[in-house]
Amino acid sequence: MADYYEVLGVDRNASEDEIKKAYRKMSRKYHPDIAGPEFEDKFKEVNNAYEVLGNAEKRRMYDSGVDPNNPNAGGFGGGFDMGDMGDVFSSFFGGSFGGSQGPVPRMQPGRDALASMTIELKTAVFGGTEQVRVNTFILCPQCSGTGSADGSKPTPCPDCQGQGMRQKVVRTMLGQMMTTAPCERCEGHGNIITNPCASCMGHGRVRTTRSIGVHVPAGIRDDSRIRLASQGEVGECGGAAGDLYVDIHIKADKQFTRDGDDLHCWVRVPMSWAVLGHEIDIETFDGTKNLEVPAGCQPEDTVTLKGLGAGRMRDDGERGDLVVHVAVEIPTKLSDDERELMERFADSHDADASHVAQSSRPAAAKGKKGFFSKLKDALG
């Protein structure tokens, strides 16, 4: 029985979130469209592991020694299961243990596909539609998925008589035994395409790169994953398409940072504006907005503009806030008149100052005037 925990690289006590995170990382790493076709088997192994460990009931079965991906498997120890028993019986009796194997249908469901895209912060705030390019299998345009160049239906295989399997005698240490194996001529399908399509070589699908529109919901977070149903790989001979999973990455913005549903930005204002108060215009994702810097504003004080943040994922139309941090520019060079004014303020307000208050936390300013408010009072 395969060790699914080892496949995903997680501990046996891993939480659901840890398993999901590990699966996303591994599926992205080994997806054939990203890592290359040689990793197809590894990608299937990762998906099989998550199919079990990502389901609470299947995980309980697996932890008790039963692999849900193999209905005939059991916890017999030493790697022996009912699949092994089936191989033994098929060697002796020429068929699969527990029921006969029929031909493999040509029409097979397609696999899921994985892609990633980077969007602007503004798109994450408002939502929108972005295009992502993916390299997947699509229905063959030449034969419309039939696999036949002339549209004719497959005919029964003359070698296996439509069974898909052929019996053959093999030599073993116990002597000659009868066993079954997929028919080499029809590859186990039980039928053959007499005139296969030259474009898809009888598979009914071809690989191509196409552009797909992705609806990005307002308020989406960085490293989110969006599922697009039936936009993955088309299956062989017109089989149902798998799903497309798109990982969303948000590009860093030059003006705003994001914290949850709120946006933050920083503005620098002259000291006089902070002392006396001032109205300024700032750029937002909603256009130019007026911002009032209150009189006596302290360095790193904030002014909040309600409802100008990111949309909320609960789809009720509400948005977070825009929090503006005020950075006050302290002049480094003063004229004689400016210095005289500052000295008058110092004589009036700081004459009795003898020490500096020191603390591990910012001092609470509630009910107390800040430096710039006192400066404003001193200057009349």
Instruction: Return binding residues for Zn(2+).
Output: 140, 143, 157, 160, 183, 186, 197, 200
Pick out the residues of the known binding site: 140, 143, 157, 160, 183, 186, 197, 200
- Rounded Cα distance between 282 and 256, Å, is 12
Q: Which of 300, 303, 250 is nearest to 124 (CA)?
A: 250
Tokens of 377: 């009072």
What backbone phi and psi angles, to 5 degrees, belong to 213? Answer: -80, 130
Distances (CA, A) of 158 to 45, 95, 164, 188, 194: 35, 20, 10, 12, 12
- Which residue type, as a one-letter code, is found at position 352? D
- Which residue type, as a one-letter code, is found at position 251? K
- Helices 371-378 and 336-349 cross at an angle (nearest 10°) of 110
| Contact criterion met (CB below 8 Å) for 213 and 228 | no
- Rounded Cα distance between 231 and 245, Å, is 9
Burial class of residue 340 in the structure, from the number of CB atoms within 10 Å of its CB (0-12 exposed, 13-18 middle, 19+ buried) = exposed
- Rounded Cα distance between 305 and 262, Å, is 10
Beta strands 302-305 and 322-329: pairing type? antiparallel
Paired strand residues for 228: 244
3-state secondary structure at position 236: helix
Can you say whether residue 151 is alpha, beta or left, with left for phi > 0 and alpha for psi between -120 and 50 degrees? Answer: left
Beta strands 224-228 and 262-270: pairing type? unpaired
Place of tokens 């408010």: 373
Write the CB contacts of 51 (distance below 8 Å, at least 6 apart in sequence). Answer: 58, 68, 69
Tokens of 53: 């460990």
Q: What is the DSSP string of 153-199?
A: PPEE-TTTTT-SEEEEEEEETTEEEEEEEE-TTTTTSSEE-SSB-TT
